[in-house]
Amino acid sequence: MKTKHLTSIRDLSGAEIMDVLVQTKKLKALSYKGKNPQAMKGKVLAMIFQKPSTRTRVSFETGAFQLGGTAIYLSSHDTQLGRGESVPDSARVLSRFCDIIMARVFGHSDIENLAKYATVPVINGLSDFSHPCQILADLFTIYEKGRKINKNLKVAYIGDGNNITHSWIFAAGKVGFRFVSASPSGYEPLKEVVEEARRDAKKSGAVIEVTNDPVEAAKGADVIYTDTWASMGQEKEHDARVKIFMPYQVNQRLVSSAKKDCLVMHCLPAHRGEEITDEVMDGPNSIVFDEAENRLHVQKTVMIELLKNAVSLRS
């Protein structure tokens, strides 16, 4: 991994994405044997949370601990980030105290500014535009299940064209698989994201499609993926969105349009009975909780790789 920061999947090449998967498989095997490399010994991870999260906090904090490091949790009540102090100044200050920064924010511009002004690696733990760690974990889970990530793989995303969708689109363009996004009219992924990924697809052989038909998207899919219909910060839109998105529910009828051995994925937290039914989420095709666990293992790989390239003020 040549990049200093991970702000988006587009920071990585297709080869680098695949290398993360290979390295994570080795690292996970070592972790299960209790032989975690101590790559973060004596190092500190600063975790900035404008948005709270169970999986992001626990996976990063556990990962830092397993690698021999320490993590500091900084909620919106614990810092002056974007309130009394500018993001650039916060980045400069945290770089003097810590060795690596992870931030889970609302606006993607905060991630970009942290990366621009920090002198230590910055990891995007989620922004309104991108969620790279989640998609790396998703790809690793598919890879771990023995599926080949190539032009013969079809991933169908059903739901809101959000940060998860953007990251999937970038990943498809980089690595070279087929990705179909199905969303209601007016809720599709950003056109500029699709256009950029299609430029990458000319080299990788990827096929990237956007449709309003969930059944067509799911037809013959190897993977069906969904996410909540109303993300954090969109709570007031929840009831209206449920009415609009109900035809996009991942239920058994929709899953029957995919391959019999398709993998069903959800980045969590799930609103059962809305975007996904209990029958599907707890069914034989679901790998949702394997996917959740793999956030830990992928993020450990990301931290190790970024720290290799880090040029700290203290070095």
pLDDT of residue 70: 98
Cβ atoms within 10 A of the Cβ of 308, count? 10
Q: Considering 10, 178, 227, 297, which one is annotated as catalytic?
A: 227
Average model confidence (pLDDT) for the chain?
95
Distances (CA, A) of 183 to 63, 151, 212: 34, 23, 5
Q: Considering 55, 166, 241, 295, which one is annotated as catalytic?
A: 295
User: Is 104 labeled as catalytic in the residue annotation?
Assistant: yes
Q: Considering 5, 104, 108, 241, which one is annotated as catalytic?
A: 104
Q: Considering 131, 241, 266, 297, which one is annotated as catalytic?
A: 131
pLDDT of residue 236: 86
Q: Considering 98, 133, 262, 267, which one is annotated as catalytic?
A: 267
Q: pLDDT under 70 in the chain at which residues? A: 80-83, 311-315
User: Is 278 labeled as catalytic in the residue annotation?
Assistant: no
CA 33/CA 20 separation, integer angstroms: 20
User: Is 131 labeled as catalytic in the residue annotation?
Assistant: yes
Q: Which domains does the chain have, with CATH numbers?
A: 9-131+295-309 (3.40.50.1370), 146-286 (3.40.50.1370)
Cβ atoms within 10 A of the Cβ of 120, count? 28
pLDDT of residue 80: 67
Global pTM reads 0.96
pLDDT tens figures, 265-284 = 999 999 999 999 999 999 99
Q: Considering 23, 134, 249, 299, which one is annotated as catalytic?
A: 134
User: Is 299 labeled as catalytic in the residue annotation?
Assistant: no
Long-range contact list for 30-34, CB < 8 A, 24+ apart?
31/66, 31/297, 31/300
User: Is 295 labeled as catalytic in the residue annotation?
Assistant: yes
